[in-house]
Structure 1
């Protein structure tokens, strides 16, 4: 028979183990609560940072929209790199808690691939020259042309990978001189790169002459073309309707990058500028409002 002292010792041991188990469980619960609280705080901070970043992106878009709307009133017959809209861009700068950068480009500074079904042999020739100029495989042009036989226009350059069998590298190189815009658009020779001037003139001497004039005075006019003895084919102009705005923002450890396609038009109330397509590196943010395109 166990002695009373031994019995009490055994009971005390069991009680101690139970107490330790309870303490361990309590510590685990407290630790889980603290961890969840920290996670909730971190998530809240990230949501706050994301909200601030999106607000800055909206502000960047708004500044571009204001400049482009004003430009339609001040200088409706030309769009060139000396104008205010082209100077709205902001190199990356430090802001409270992060960085901000804004870039605005004339989307019509490149050849619109969606022109192909509407421009016949001339459009096909320009695409072939672009492919040759960029030293791309010769079958790139017919593959793109085959895709554009379909009634649905291209929405993004990146879609050429899945829909025309191009490689990402080929698309990246093609994007130097080509783009995708809704409907038919002219190439703006005031903003087109020198390589594209050479393509559309198909004459290195004339292209160099135009580049020289544009470099000296910042833009080209119809009178400049006449004086230089240059006759350009249809599909080339001096003004643009579409502009691309790229805004990059970092707040704390949150990074946001948005590409927005802006469309200018004239309504009863005066000049209008609206965002018709937004996308970020993860894909489309908003479906394109291509129904609004003329």
Structure 2
């Protein structure tokens, strides 16, 4: 009978497209992955994967075998997780995915608190602004900012992130503070050229979403450059609050037009549909949710 480790290796090879990538995903030596595949093929008596120097593709028999065993292996994983939940303390490896900018400022402090509280847990963090395929990546949990699409994932809404207009004290001293979005036409605004609608900022006016056209003498494709430009007094900026909170805390910028902020952007934690979150995932979500509420982002 094939070992579960051999079946896991086969699934990873098919999903990752190579033995090397499968070894990296599973955290096992390449030689171990190769040996697992060889033992599995010897056990079933047929070649499951066509190997080349650059790619590893399932054979016709391998494709059928993959479709049959994948649900079974997932059931075994779920059973293991359920058994592990009976332990008093979380343990094992927690594999997380998160956006690039959000993680260093807000996720790392939570991870540090989590690992101090549960020393038997190790954390692997993968940063990407793309929508990661959890099934292919091997991640336990991924954080996504924005409205969700039908992705076959189960999620928990952790909170919502504000979008604000902000400027430097020096700018406000020279040009005054706008009291209504319509007044932005008379202000210098720093805009992002990479936006879907460059120079258009969204607001909530009279209870409805309204687009307001803005302009200024400085434009850039970099949000970090926008923050620096606003801090230097080149104009007003528009950004998620969490991305400029460090500037606000340092009294380098101030927010305006708070009464007209657009609808906040939701942030969700997602995991594979049909799987029960393990104790290590639940405890992490509890800490992260509490942190987001405390920071009022």
Normalised by the length of structure 2, the TM-score is: 0.26
Q: Highest Rg: 1 or 2?
A: 1
Higher helix share: 1
Normalised by the length of structure 1, the TM-score is: 0.27
